[in-house]
Amino acid sequence: MSWFSHFVSSSIGQKLIMSLTGLFLILFLVVHLIGNLQLLAEDGGESFNVYARFMTTNPLIKTISYGLYFFILLHTWQGIFLWFKNRAARGNTGYAVKKTRAVGTSAVLSSRMAWLGIIVFVFIVIHMVQFWLQMKLGNVQMATYPGHEGEYKDLFVMVIDAFKNPAFVIFYVICMYVIGLHLWHGFQSSFQTLGLNHKKYTPLIKGIGKVYSILIPAGFAIIPIIVYLFR
């Protein structure tokens, strides 16, 4: 298997890991957003809590979730590693003046992916401690719903409470903005790394990337805003 370790530790192999884990996380965000939108259902949290129990108990979903944790860590670790590698390659003396001609992507964003990524990672850690850890280990109120068997952990109330805090809502919305910036470059960049660059479909990939990186973070951000203002 030495060819495999050489392959994944080559410069292109390292970028492939970033690309594939990034694309997995891009798919995950869609599923996560669909789940979160149930927070807006006006049923006292029934659909959200039923969904949350399904997501935390279904063996298939649980298996995928371990993959998700692994891929988040791998993407972060590999990204920080590449960041250090690239800084070393740049050398000790920087340019006194540096300008870049307008490029197809956003040069400012694409050269700051590591900083954006670190902010996103910190957000994920806070997010996991605040909701995921509480759901797993914390003392969560129980709720029952007619027509559904057994008791449900009331994650809904926990989330709504958090979204009633204006400071948290602002923090959350800013983090979603940062995720949007990270995706703005990351979405189309992951396809380029896979070698998918062609006149026929690259404009489509870039277009979908832009729509995705606006709609998905905006979808997440709108939920705490609605909850704070109207619930």
Partner 1 sequence: MKLNLKIWRQKNNSTKGGFKSYQVDANTHMSFLEMLDVLNETLIAKKEEPVAFEHDCREGICGVCSMVIDGQTHGPWKGTTTCQLHMREFKEGDTITIEPFRAKSFPVVKDLVVDRSAFDRIIQAGGYISVNTGQAPDGNAIPVEREKSSFAFEAAACIGCGACVAACPNASAMLFVSAKVSHLGLLPQGDVEHSDRVLNMVKQMDDEGFGRCSNVTACEAECPKEISVANIARLNRAYFGAALGSEKKV
Binding site for partner 1 (CB under 8 A): 3-4, 6-7, 10-16, 82, 85-86, 88-91, 93-105, 107, 110-111, 113, 185, 188-189, 192-198
CA distances from 179 to 8, 43, 115, 221 (A): 26, 30, 11, 11
Nearer to partner 1, 109 or 218 (CB): 109
| Rounded least distance, CB 200 to partner 1, Å | 12
Nearer to partner 1, 3 or 66 (CB): 3
| Rounded least distance, CB 80 to partner 1, Å | 12
Name the nearest CA neighbour of 134 among 165, 171, 176, 162: 162
Q: Say if CB 94 and CB 37 are below 8 A apart.
A: no
- Distance (Å, rounded) from C-alpha 78 to C-alpha 94? 24
| Rounded least distance, CB 16 to partner 1, Å | 7
| Rounded least distance, CB 112 to partner 1, Å | 9
**Following DSSP, what letter does each residue of 61-103 receive, concatenated?**
HHHHHHHHHHHHHHHHHHHHHHHHHHHHHH-S---SS------
Q: Tell me, rounded to whole angstroms, the distance of Cα 200 from its chain centroid.
A: 29
Nearer to partner 1, 49 or 188 (CB): 188
- Distance (Å, rounded) from C-alpha 213 to C-alpha 178? 10
- Distance (Å, rounded) from C-alpha 112 to C-alpha 117? 8
| Rounded least distance, CB 88 to partner 1, Å | 6
Name the nearest CA neighbour of 21 among 177, 189, 133, 178: 189
Nearer to partner 1, 99 or 150 (CB): 99
Nearer to partner 1, 70 or 84 (CB): 84
| Rounded least distance, CB 10 to partner 1, Å | 6
Nearer to partner 1, 36 or 110 (CB): 110
